[in-house]
Structure formats: structure tokens, C-alpha cells
């Protein structure tokens, strides 16, 4: 299993960053390079505790589907999404939003994931997936930072 942690400073209050982070539209806009879109479950608006969404995207030349659930939610400080069906053996993503004391937010993503296929999956995690997932989270966070700092929603 691989653990990633990414911290992004956003010049917007935690409440705004938290809300935008649960927006299906913000997620799909941030992942437009891979054509990611919500195809089942909650497909628009803001997700809440218990909501499920099936995402479809193209990575490594292959179309993938991943269904996740919002399994924990403590507005405006954190929520967790985790895979209930999809390509990973495990996908768990905690989103934390901490007030920076100056009206901004420290957005912290903690992700635990495991590829299928035993030793080959662990090799893929180390050689390819860790870097790929980190880039996706950084891209998503850049988008959230831009949108929330401009006050757009």
C-alpha cells in the first residue's frame, strides 16, 4: 500500500474550500485532461455524507470507472471518500481543511491506495502510480485554489 500526503495553501476560508472540494463540477473541471466525468450516482452538485458517485476517466490509454462514497464528513474541517468499486484494491482519501490564522486554508490530502495484482501491483505503485496520483492531486488542488481564491463557484 502507498500513502501520499499533499499540502496546498489556499487564500480562501476553510468553509469555501471545503464546499468547493465536494463539488462534482469542480472535480470534473480539474480532471478535464483525463476526460473525467460523473456517470452514475450523484452526478452534479455538492456531495454529502453517504453519497456515491461513479467516475469515468481515461488514464494510461484505458477507460476506468471508480465508484466512491463519502464515508465521513465533518464540515468544514474534513471529509473522506473511498472506493467501493473500481480498479484499486484500496483507495481511501481524507481531505482536511485547517484555518491558517490569516483567513486562508491549509488543504491537506492524505491518500492510501493499493493496486491489485499482488507483487506486480506493488511494483506499479512504486514505478508509476505514486507519481501519477500525486500529479492528479496537485492538478486538482491548483484548480480548487484558483476557483476558491477568485470566489468563483
Chunk the chain into consecutive blocks of 10 residues (it has 153) and report each block's average pLDDT, rounded to whole numbers: 96 97 96 93 97 95 95 98 96 97 96 92 90 95 95 60
Sheet holding 78-85, edge to edge: 2-10, 105-114, 90-99, 78-85, 62-74, 52-59, 37-41
> Whole-angstrom Cα distance, residue 50 to residue 53?
10
Domains of the chain, start order: 2-149 (3.30.530.20)
Contacts (Cβ under 8 Å, ≥6 apart) of 85:
54, 65, 66, 67
What's residue 93's pLDDT? 98
What's residue 117's pLDDT? 87
What's residue 151's pLDDT? 73
Closest CA to 35 of 10, 13, 65, 56: 56
What's residue 147's pLDDT? 95
On whether the CB atoms of residues 75 and 18 are closer than 8 A, the answer is: yes
Q: What cell was used for 45? A: 452538485
On whether the CB atoms of residues 111 and 96 are closer than 8 A, the answer is: no
What's residue 38's pLDDT? 97
What's residue 152's pLDDT? 56
> Whole-angstrom Cα distance, residue 115 to residue 119?
9
Amino acid at each position: 500500500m502507498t500513502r501520499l500526503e499533499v499540502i496546498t495553501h489556499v487564500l480562501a476560508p476553510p468553509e469555501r474550500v471545503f464546499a468547493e472540494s465536494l463539488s462534482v463540477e469542480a472535480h470534473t473541471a480539474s480532471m478535464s485532461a483525463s476526460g473525467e466525468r460523473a456517470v452514475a450516482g450523484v452526478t452534479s452538485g455538492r456531495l454529502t455524507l453517504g453519497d456515491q458517485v461513479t467516475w469515468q476517466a481515461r488514464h494510461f490509454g484505458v477507460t476506468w470507472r471508480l465508484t466512491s462514497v463519502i464515508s465521513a464528513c465533518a464540515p468544514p474541517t474534513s471529509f473522506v471518500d473511498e472506493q467501493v468499486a473500481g480498479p484499486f484494491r484500496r483507495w481511501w482519501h481524507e481531505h482536511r481543511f485547517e484555518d491558517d490564522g490569516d483567513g486562508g486554508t491549509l488543504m491537506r490530502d492524505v491518500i492510501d491506495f493499493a493496486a491489485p495484482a499482488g507483487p506486480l501491483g506493488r511494483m506499479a505503485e512504486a514505478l508509476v502510480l505514486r507519481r501519477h496520483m500525486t500529479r492528479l492531486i496537485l492538478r486538482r488542488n491548483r484548480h480548487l485554489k484558483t476557483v476558491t481564491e477568485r470566489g468563483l463557484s
